[in-house]
Structure 1
Amino acid sequence: MKNTIADRVYDFLKKYPPFDIIKKEDLITIAENVIIAYLEKGKVLFKNDDNRHEHFYIVKEGGVVLKKNELADAEIIDICDEGDVFGLRPLITNDSYMMTAIAEEEALVYGIPIEVFKPILAKEQNVGLFLIESFTSKTKNPFTKKYSDDLYQNTEALNVGEKDFQELQVIRYTKDPFCIDKDDLVIKAATRMSENKVGSLIVVDDDNLPIGILTDKDFRHKIVTGMFSTKVPVSQIMSFPVETFKKTLTVTEAQLAMVKNKTGHLVITEDGTDQTKAIGILTEHDVVISQGNSASGLMKAIRRSRSSKELRKIRQQITQLLKGYIFQNIPLTIITQIIHELNEALTIRVIEIALDRMPEKPPVQFAWLSLGSHGRKEQLLVTDQDNALVFEDVPEDKYEEVKKYFLILATKVNILLNKVGYEFCPADMMARNPKWCQSLTEWKTQFSHWIHHVDNEDILYSSIFFDFNRTYGNKEIVKELSDSIFSATEYNPLFFTLMGRSALQNPSPLGFFRQFLVEQDGEHKDMFDIKARALMPLIDGARILILSHKIKSVNNTAERYERLAELEPANKDFYLSCSYAVKALIKFRTKHGLLYHSTGRYIVLKELTKEERLKLKRCFKTISELQELIKIRFKVAQFL
């Protein structure tokens, strides 16, 4: 007899992570053993310190609030709505509950039996990883490895290795290859190769399946030497057996296959075997060309380039490389290092081209500063420009002439960067603006003013410059400027208080009822601003905290939090969770931007999956805690 209730449970569970990746037969077993609990508003499902249940839970309808205890004013840890999993402690640890679950409204929840579920964890590791992340996002340290140890004995399997990124790039091959029948004569093969200007033919049998390959090398060694006549069948001189591979073959795999099999040609077939038809052919030349799309190949291409047109093509190739890295799940730390180095090399080449086009060499030493996401080494997608120029001090009578030179140079650089693909900054915060092209002493004076005569605009400007990175030019000028800036912030509590206030100005990502707060009007109405509402609070928070420790050598936001974890052991877990959140949000924004050919800043919420919404909300948890820390540490409340 059909179990109607189990069918309904199954249909519900399969829509939500991690149940959506569990095999059908296993999910049916779970559905058949689920318990169903109806909770009136205010009903307690379990309390802090209660003995563990035999189930963990998922919300079917309504909402469940997770609090420190039953008291009305107890701290709210999380609010779970439809599809949210909670009460995972019995599955992952052996101790009592550390929070209280109360129905925020009438709610229906499914209890997933732990004994039925545990065997599935042994088979589906991704299920366990999702549940660990879900569980730990409701603890003090959302990203500790401790719970991986509790759930899995073999934790080594959970570690993500830093794979060779080039190996993951799928190689391009020649499609619709030329073929010849095994019984055709060599003379016919030579004619066909000559007419089509190709260096090889795939030899096929009566079923049109590949059995060998005929190349220029075979002609040189077997025909030109007189070993065989041109009137013998090609099967007598072909190279065999044929080496066949799938169309997903990567660059490194192709290289290894050619070395291992001592061949310069690989045949691509429908399923990768010689039992299906050939759909392409790959040569050593193709491998060399494909390496041009690797990081090292693009770096070489940048250094050889002579125009913005060439660099624009390379910039587009960098985006394709980024796309490959993101969708192959390469660790973000590796991705940002590679893409930053490529962006940096591209900018340097633009500056070199601009210098070559100047009528004379620079009159004094100078440095080009990259600001914003580029300065923080977080620029993955193509965004607008943020840069500045600082030049050596000169006598007053030479100043106007020298500044004019550098403004002309900066204008050329900004225009070339625009042609490469970087939009002009809408606020004109670029080196071509006289305000952003100044002598060393002028910059020192400017920073002193920003720091000691603070208003909202000054805080914005100074914040941007605390993230600068020297891209090109004299190191000593930049070091002297940096030393001056940090010296001006010492013994200046008001500056940090006002900087803290500025860091709290970004709007919250979530409303009171835990819904995403979206833009209310304008071009991006009803879209979620992931930059302003999620990334900037974390970026601003990392900046003020690291500056308070007088650390000036770390600009990257995730690295700042990791350094803070070392400096403040008591807050280590929290800072590591902030670092993780930054990486996750940058990756999410990048992935979204690549999918929709945009900057990834504005997210269409209805296009997100339930899992994506859950991951974003977990990242947001750290933002409110971070802002509370800043409010207390820098005594910001009196200025709010």
Structure 2
Amino acid sequence: MEAHVVGSLEMLLRCAPLSVSPEAAVREVLRRMCVEDAAEAVVVAPVTGRPLGILTQRDVVERVALPAESLDGPVAGVMTGGVVALPRTAGVHEARLQLARHRLRRLVVVDEAGRLVGVVSREDLYAVRRPRADDLIERIQAVRDEAALTSVARQVSAGAGALVDGGEQAGRVGEWIALLNDLLAQAAIDIAEAEFELPMVPWCWLAFGSEGRLEQTLHTDQDNGLIFLAADEAEAESLRARFLPFAQRVNILLDACGFSLCKGGIMAGNPCWCLSLAEWRGRFSDWMRSASAEDLLNATIFFDFRALVGDVALADSLRGWLLAAAADNALFLRFMAENALRSGPPLGRIRDFVVDRESGRLDLKRDGTRPFVDAARIYALELGLPETATVERLRAAGAVLRWGAREVGALSEAFEFILQLRLRRQRVPGTPPNQVAPDELNELERAFLKESLRQARRLQDRLRGRYQL
């Protein structure tokens, strides 16, 4: 099990990487690695500074020492080429996915121009690892057919439940679930891709809603879509017809893995959500322009998106456009804020909690985590923040708006406590998965829940004041 590491890769870069030219002799590179106590040397292009390859001590043993090659040859002849590089703004979750998918020990980090800025290793991304997580990752990587996929999916589900039962923090459980669920989805896409001849155009599988925010719990359905590049409307129609059978196959595979088909049809196999980049922009633009109740509901789901598999640049382009368009539409943001403030946390003036009269329960999703999620989304859209996870959005918004560190910390802890309760309730058989009766909690849990809901109310008060509602 990995430690709870969040933020961008830039936050993990502690020192400048050792970089060498392709012509440098292996002997000289090894000498510098020893002097600078570096685990690896990155080979970069002399003019552009872009990484070309990487050399580790293991590479030297396997490619120089054992075959008795000369140490005076150029490092380009023994380096590992084709490095996997991520921008320094990339998130930790994306880096973990790349490590697992490509079976790597380290990733190269680059700036906006593609120049080397650092290296992150498994140890940087995972302060603590448990054998079970590694074992499941390896099993997912070995999947080649539907039977193997569904088998390992059941093991992932059982593992997630065991973590909740063991008292792991919600943030750590969420990271574990997100990483393995993403790998399962990637495996399903790989299986389906092998069954169809897809168009030779850029495309990307998108995750929406809680999956897009990396906040999936133990019980979740599918919220996904597909984005592709098309020259015009006619080409978009032609490409959609070719992508849909593939996307529908992926949806079926994910359903077999336990990610139930979305009752609202928010799936890539639905023609409504298998769109070109221009069509996605048009759809988002229509929602922001009319801002009906249905449009606002769609925004709460679709605007929390992230790339899962494929050409990430398409998702980045859509996000950049969305953030610019939303920030320039004050009326739409006001409608979003009004919608988010229609209901508040279930806190009573006389009693501690306001519960449903018939069941005696309160809804931890609707009344607990949603106020945090909705407010964080609105701040992200207004301030142009690319983060999708709720806690990361709150931290980024707090930095821009100069909220106190204690306030941001309290908001984050409150959100994760309620999420922890949701996870625990989902492990109780025969009860509604996101509901709890306050009497079922012990005194300390009730106190924590009450304070967490107060934090939600304070966040809503901030939103209310900002939009003068």
- State the TM-score, normalized to the length of structure 2: 0.68
Matches of 2:456 and 2:152 in 1, distance apart?
37
Matches of 2:4 and 2:215 in 1, distance apart?
21
Q: What does residue 376 of structure 1 align with?
A: 213
Matches of 1:549 and 1:590 in 2, distance apart?
31
State which of 157, 160, 178 in structure 2 corresponds to 1:340: 178
Q: What does residue 440 of structure 2 align with?
A: 607
Matches of 2:3 and 2:374 in 1, distance apart?
29
Q: For 1:423, what is the secondary structure of its paired residue?
A: coil
**Cα deviations across residues 10-54 of structure 1 (Å, max 9, x unaligned)?**
xxxxxxxxxxxxxxxxxxxxxxxxxxxxxxxxxxxxxxxxxxxxx
Q: Residue 315 of structure 1: CA displacement? A: 2.2
Matches of 2:429 and 2:442 in 1, distance apart?
16
Matches of 2:336 and 2:153 in 1, distance apart?
35
Q: Residue 507 of structure 1: CA displacement? A: 4.5
State which of 441, 445, 461 in structure 2 corresponds to 1:628: 461
State which of 194, 198, 203 in structure 2 corresponds to 1:356: 194
Is 1:568 paired with 2:401?
yes
Is 1:405 paired with 2:242?
yes
State which of 126, 138, 149 in structure 2 corresponds to 1:311: 149
Matches of 2:357 and 2:224 in 1, distance apart?
31
Larger Rg: 1
Q: What does residue 349 of structure 2 align with?
A: 512
Matches of 1:612 and 1:512 in 2, distance apart?
19
Letter in 2 for 1:475: V
Cα distance, 1:422–1:468 mapped onto 2, change above 3 Å: same
**Cα deviations across residues 103-143 of structure 1 (Å, max 9, x unaligned)?**
xxxxxxxxxxxxxxxxxxxxxxxxxxxxxxxxxxxxxxxxx
Letter in 1 for 2:145: S
Letter in 2 for 1:419: A
Question: Where do 5+ consecutive residues of structure 2 fail to align?
Answer: 6-128
State which of 438, 454, 478 in structure 1 corresponds to 2:315: 478
State which of 536, 540, 545 in structure 1 corresponds to 2:370: 536
Matches of 2:403 and 2:315 in 1, distance apart?
34
Count matched residues.
345
Q: Residue 384 of structure 1: CA displacement? A: 0.9
Q: Residue 325 of structure 1: CA displacement? A: 2.9
Cα distance, 1:328–1:500 mapped onto 2, change above 3 Å: same
Contact 1:541 1:630 in 2 (8 A): yes
**Cα deviations across residues 574-629 of structure 1 (Å, max 9, x unaligned)?**
22211111111111111221233777312244432233222211111112111111
Mapping 1:439-518, distance limit 5 Å? 439-518=276-355
Matches of 2:400 and 2:174 in 1, distance apart?
24
Contact 2:206 2:308 in 1 (8 A): yes
Is 1:387 paired with 2:220?
no
Q: What does residue 112 of structure 1 align with?
A: none
Q: What does residue 8 of structure 1 align with?
A: none
Matches of 1:550 and 1:395 in 2, distance apart?
28
Cα distance, 1:537–1:499 mapped onto 2, change above 3 Å: same
Q: For 2:204, what is the secondary structure of its paired residue?
A: strand
Cα distance, 1:333–1:606 mapped onto 2, change above 3 Å: closer
- State the TM-score, normalized to the length of structure 1: 0.51
Q: What does residue 449 of structure 2 align with?
A: 616
Contact 1:593 1:601 in 2 (8 A): yes
Letter in 1 for 2:394: Y
Q: For 2:428, what is the secondary structure of its paired residue?
A: helix
Contact 2:4 2:171 in 1 (8 A): no
Q: For 1:542, what is the secondary structure of its paired residue?
A: helix
Contact 1:565 1:576 in 2 (8 A): no
Matches of 2:398 and 2:324 in 1, distance apart?
24
Question: Where do 5+ consecutive residues of structure 1 fail to align?
Answer: 1-160, 165-290
Q: For 2:426, what is the secondary structure of its paired residue?
A: helix
Q: What does residue 429 of structure 1 align with?
A: 266
Cα distance, 1:509–1:473 mapped onto 2, change above 3 Å: same
Matches of 2:401 and 2:158 in 1, distance apart?
39
Contact 1:307 1:353 in 2 (8 A): yes
> Which structure has the higher relative contact order (CA within 8 Å, separation 6+)?
2
Cα distance, 1:630–1:575 mapped onto 2, change above 3 Å: same
Mapping 1:16-95, distance limit 5 Å? none
RMSD over aligned CA atoms reads 2.5
Give structure 1 regions of 4+ aligned residues with deviation exceeding 4 angstroms. Answer: 161-164
Contact 1:564 1:575 in 2 (8 A): no
**Cα deviations across residues 207-264 of structure 1 (Å, max 9, x unaligned)?**
xxxxxxxxxxxxxxxxxxxxxxxxxxxxxxxxxxxxxxxxxxxxxxxxxxxxxxxxxx
Contact 1:506 1:536 in 2 (8 A): no
Matches of 2:348 and 2:198 in 1, distance apart?
56
Letter in 1 for 2:136: L
Matches of 1:612 and 1:501 in 2, distance apart?
31
Q: For 1:510, what is the secondary structure of its paired residue?
A: coil
**Cα deviations across residues 533-582 of structure 1 (Å, max 9, x unaligned)?**
11101110111122222111x11111222223322334432222111111
